[in-house]
C-alpha cells in the first residue's frame, strides 16, 4: 500500500495495542513499525532500476525479517521505556503484529511481496486491492488524525480506532468477494466463448474495487478486457495482443531483461514502437484502458533507452487522466460500455 496508509494504519493499531499503557507514543511507534519494511527503498540508491524492482518488497517484506527485527526492537524499547505494564513480550507482540499487517496488506496488491525470502524467491500477489485505494484508507486516516489531536484521556479514543479498523477490514473482505465474482465471470465467459487459455489474471483498476482489468494468457499472447462487478452481460469483449517473445532476441544481452521477466511473473508483452523496444508488465493494467483497449500499459520499460526509465511504475498510473476519462471510468464501473 501507499506510505500514508501504512502510517495511519500503524498509528491506529498502535492505539489499540498499547495506547492505554504508553499514551500517544503508541501512535508514533506504531507508524514507524508499520513503515519499517519499506526501508528497502534505501537500496535504490545503489542498484539499477531492474535490480531494485526485485529488491523492493523482497527480504524486508519476509517473515524472517519480521521475526529478527521484532526481537531487536522489543529488546531496545523494553530497556528504553522500562514500563512494568509493557514487558518485553508485549513489545514483541506489538512490533511483530505491526510489521505482519504491513506484509499482509502489501500482499493484496499487484507488485508482489517476498514473504519467504531468502528461502524462496516466489512473490505473493493476491491482486484484490489497488495500491492506493481511498475506500480502504479513509476511515483509518480520519481515525489517526483524531487520535493525534484528541486528549490522551478522551473516552472515545479506543472507539475511533476500533471502528475504523472494522470498516477498513470489512472493505478488504468486500474487495476479496468482488474478486471472486470477477474470476467466476471470467471463467464462465472463457468457457462460453470457447477461448483456450493457460491461466488468467484479474486486478482492480485505480482507486476502486468494482472495475477490474483482465489478462488471459494463451500460447502466443493475451486476451485483455475490463470487467465490472455490475456488468450484466455474460460475454466479455476481449482485445487480443501478441506477446512477441521473438523481439526479445534484439535485447538478449540487456542486463535488465531477465530481471523484468522474473518480476512480471510471465505476464508481459514486447513491442517495437517509434524505434524503441518496449517491455510491458500487464499486472499493473492499462493507462485508462477502460476508455480504449489499445492504450499503453502502466508499466512500460524501454529496453534500448534505459535513461528514460525513471519512475517507470508511477509514471503511467494516472497518465492521461482528465474529466472525460474519469467520467468514462464511473460509467464503466456502473456496467455501461464506452462509446464505440
Q: Are residues 201 and 93 in the same domain?
A: no
Number of independent structural domains in the chain: 2
| Three-class secondary structure of residue 239 per DSSP | strand
Measuring CA to CA, which residue among 301, 217, 298, 219 is closest to residue 260?
301
Alpha helices in the chain (DSSP H): 3-22, 25-35, 49-55, 63-81, 88-106, 134-149, 157-192, 257-264, 323-333
173, 207, 238 - which closes a domain: 173
Q: Are residues 85 and 48 in the same domain?
A: yes
Q: Which residues make beta-bridge pairs with 184?
A: none
Q: Which of 21-25, 48-52, 90-94, 105-109 has the lowest mean pLDDT?
A: 48-52
With respect to residue 181, please indicate whether it lies within any of the assigned structural domains.
Answer: no
Q: Are residues 24 and 101 in the same domain?
A: yes
Q: What is the rounded CA–CA span in Å between residue 295 and residue 289?
A: 6
Q: Are residues 223 and 156 in the same domain?
A: no
Q: Are residues 211 and 167 in the same domain?
A: no
Q: What is the rounded CA–CA span in Å between residue 243 and residue 316?
A: 20
138, 173, 208 - which closes a domain: 173
Going by C-beta distance under 8 Å and a sequence separation of 6 or more, which residues neighbour residue 234? Answer: 185, 188, 189, 192
Q: Are residues 96 and 223 in the same domain?
A: no
Q: Are residues 37 and 116 in the same domain?
A: yes
For the segment 26-43, what is each residue's pLDDT rounded down to a tens digit? 999 999 999 999 999 887
| Mean pLDDT of the chain, nearest integer | 92
Q: Are residues 149 and 213 in the same domain?
A: no
With respect to residue 185, please indicate whether it lies within any of the assigned structural domains.
Answer: no
Omega of the bond prior to 118 within 30 degrees of 0, cis? Answer: yes
Q: Are residues 169 and 216 in the same domain?
A: no
Q: Are residues 131 and 30 in the same domain?
A: yes
Q: Are residues 162 and 205 in the same domain?
A: no
For the segment 244-290, what is each residue's pLDDT rounded down to a tens digit? 999 988 777 677 888 899 999 999 999 988 878 889 999 999 999 99
Cell numbers for 73: 526492537
For the segment 195-237, what is each residue's pLDDT rounded down to a tens digit? 999 999 999 999 999 999 999 999 999 999 999 999 999 999 9
Q: What is the pTM of this model?
A: 0.92
Query: What single string gives the DSSP state of each residue in 65-129?
Result: HHHHHHHHHHHHHHHHH--TTS-HHHHHHHHHHHHHHHHHHHTTSSS-B-TTTTT--PPB----S
Q: Which domain holds residue 329?
A: 193-333
Amino acid at each position: 500500500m501507499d506510505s500514508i496508509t501504512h502510517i495511519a494504519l500503524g498509528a491506529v493499531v498502535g492505539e489499540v495495542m498499547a495506547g492505554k499503557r504508553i499514551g500517544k507514543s503508541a501512535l508514533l511507534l506504531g507508524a514507524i513499525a508499520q513503515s519499517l519494511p519499506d526501508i528497502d527503498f534505501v537500496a535504490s540508491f545503489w542498484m539499477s532500476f531492474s535490480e531494485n524492482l526485485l529488491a523492493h518488497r523482497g527480504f524486508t517484506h519476509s517473515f524472517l525479517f519480521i521475526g529478527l527485527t521484532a526481537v531487536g526492537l522489543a529488546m531496545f524499547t523494553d530497556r528504553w521505556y522500562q514500563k512494568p505494564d509493557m514487558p518485553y513480550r508485549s513489545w514483541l507482540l506489538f512490533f511483530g503484529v505491526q510489521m505482519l499487517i504491513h506484509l499482509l496488506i502489501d500482499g493484496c496488491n499487484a507488485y508482489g511481496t517476498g514473504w519467504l525470502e531468502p528461502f524462496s524467491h516466489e512473490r505473493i500477489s493476491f491482486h484484490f486491492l489497488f495500491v492506493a485505494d481511498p475506500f480502504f484508507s479513509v476511515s483509518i486516516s480520519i481515525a489517526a488524525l483524531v487520535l493525534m489531536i484528541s486528549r490522551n484521556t478522551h473516552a472515545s479514543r479506543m472507539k475511533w480506532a476500533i471502528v475504523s479498523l472494522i470498516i477498513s477490514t470489512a472493505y478488504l473482505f468486500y474487495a476479496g468477494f468482488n474478486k471472486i465474482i470477477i474470476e467466476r465471470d471470467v471463467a464462465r465467459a472463457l468457457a462460453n466463448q470457447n477461448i483456450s487459455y493457460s491461466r488468467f489474471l484479474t486486478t482492480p483498476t485505480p482507486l476502486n474495487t468494482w472495475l477490474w482489468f483482465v489478462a488471459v494468457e494463451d500460447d502466443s499472447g493475451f486476451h485483455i478486457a475490463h470487467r465490472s462487478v455490475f456488468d450484466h452481460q455474460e460475454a466479455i469483449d476481449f482485445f487480443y495482443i501478441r506477446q512477441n517473445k521473438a523481439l526479445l532476441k534484439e535485447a538478449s544481452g540487456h542486463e535488465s531483461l531477465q530481471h523484468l521477466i522474473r518480476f512480471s511473473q510471465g505476464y508481459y508483452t514486447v513491442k517495437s514502437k517509434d524505434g524503441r523496444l518496449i517491455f510491458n508488465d500487464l499486472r499493473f493494467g492499462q493507462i485508462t484502458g477502460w476508455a480504449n483497449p489499445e492504450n499503453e500499459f502502466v508499466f512500460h520499460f524501454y529496453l534500448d533507452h534505459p535513461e528514460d526509465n525513471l519512475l517507470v511504475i508511477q509514471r503511467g498510473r494516472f497518465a492521461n487522466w482528465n474529466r472525460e476519462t474519469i467520467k468514462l471510468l464511473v460509467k464503466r464501473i456502473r456496467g455501461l460500455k464506452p462509446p464505440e
